[in-house]
C-alpha cells in the first residue's frame, strides 16, 4: 500500500513529459492548415465583390412604453399606411404587394417589420415573395417605421384572434 502513491506519481510524470511534444505537433498542423486555407480563400475572394450584407434592421424600434403611446402610434401608423402603403397592401387581400397577414407570418418583431417596410434591396434571406415585383425603396423615418409596424402587428394580431 505505501508504495502506490509513488507509482501514480511516476506514471503521471511520464505522461506529462510527452504532452508538450504532442501539443506542439497538433498546434503546428492546425496552424499550417489554417494558413493554407487562409491563402486559398483570399485567392478565391480576389475577383469576387463582397457579398451583400444580411437584412439586419438598421435601427432597433422600441415597443410602446404605455397605453397612451400605443394609441398614439396606432393612429400615426394608420395614417402612414393610408398615405404610403394602402395602394399596394391590405390586411388580408393580395394586392400589388403581399397582405400584411402574410408579412406578419414572416416578421414577428417590430424592428423587422419596420425595416422590411422600406423594402430593403439587400434582403438575401427573405426576398422570395414569389409572384411579386420588388416593392419601392421607401424612405421612412424611424418613427414612421415604428408606427406603421405597431399598426401592422396589431391589426394582423386582431385578425388572427378574430373569427377566421
Ligand atoms: C408600389 C407598391 C408598394 C407600396 C407603395 C408599398 N409596398 Fe410593401 N411591398 C410591395 C411589394 C411588391 C412587396 C413584395 C416584394 C418585396 O418584398 O419587395 C412588398 C413587400 C413588403 C414587405 C415585406 C418585405 C420583405 O423584405 O419581406 C413589407 C413589410 C411591406 N411591403 C410593407 C410596406 C409598408 C409598411 C408600406 C408603406 C409604408 C409599403 N409596403 C408600401 C409593394 C409596395
pLDDT in tens, 113-158: 999 999 987 655 455 688 898 899 999 999 999 999 999 999 999 8
User: Could you identify the atom of ligand 1 that is nearest to the CA of residue 55?
Assistant: 26
Residue extents of the structural domains in the chain:
1-50, 67-161
Measure 42 CA to ligand 1 centroid, in angstroms. 38
SS3 55: coil
Residues in the chain: 164
Does any ligand 1 atom lie closer than 6 A to the CB of residue 80? yes
User: Could you identify the atom of ligand 1 that is nearest to the CA of residue 134?
Assistant: 18
Does any ligand 1 atom lie closer than 6 A to the CB of residue 57? no
Does any ligand 1 atom lie closer than 6 A to the CB of residue 153? no
Does any ligand 1 atom lie closer than 6 A to the CB of residue 84? yes
pLDDT in tens, 48-67: 555 444 456 778 999 999 99
Give this prediction's pTM.
Answer: 0.71
Q: What is the pLDDT of residue 159?
A: 82
Q: Under CATH, to which class is 67-161 assigned?
A: mainly alpha
- Asked if 109 and 145 count as a contact pair (C-beta separation under 8 A), the reply is no
pLDDT in tens, 71-130: 999 999 999 999 999 999 999 999 999 999 999 998 889 999 999 999 987 655 455 688
Question: Whole-angstrom Cα distance, residue 117 to residue 100?
Answer: 10
Kindly tell me if the per-residue pLDDT of 41 is higher than 50. Answer: no
The sign of the CA dihedral 12, 15, 17, 20 is: negative
Amino acid at each position: 500500500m505505501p508504495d502506490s502513491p509513488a507509482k501514480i506519481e511516476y506514471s503521471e510524470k511520464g505522461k506529462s513529459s510527452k504532452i508538450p511534444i504532442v501539443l506542439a505537433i497538433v498546434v503546428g498542423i492546425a496552424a499550417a492548415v489554417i494558413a493554407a486555407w487562409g491563402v486559398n480563400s483570399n485567392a478565391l475572394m480576389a475577383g469576387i465583390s463582397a457579398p451583400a450584407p444580411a437584412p439586419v434592421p438598421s435601427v432597433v424600434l422600441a415597443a410602446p412604453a404605455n397605453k397612451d403611446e400605443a394609441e398614439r402610434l396606432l393612429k400615426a401608423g394608420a395614417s402612414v399606411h393610408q398615405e404610403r402603403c394602402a395602394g399596394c397592401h391590405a390586411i388580408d387581400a393580395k394586392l400589388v404587394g403581399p397582405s400584411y397577414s402574410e408579412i406578419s407570418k414572416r416578421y414577428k418583431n417590430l424592428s423587422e417589420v419596420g425595416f422590411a417596410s422600406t423594402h430593403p434591396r439587400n434582403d438575401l434571406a427573405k426576398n422570395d415573395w414569389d409572384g411579386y415585383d420588388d416593392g419601392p425603396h421607401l424612405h421612412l423615418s424611424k418613427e414612421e417605421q415604428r408606427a406603421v409596424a405597431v399598426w401592422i402587428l396589431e391589426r394582423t394580431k386582431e385578425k388572427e384572434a378574430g373569427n377566421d
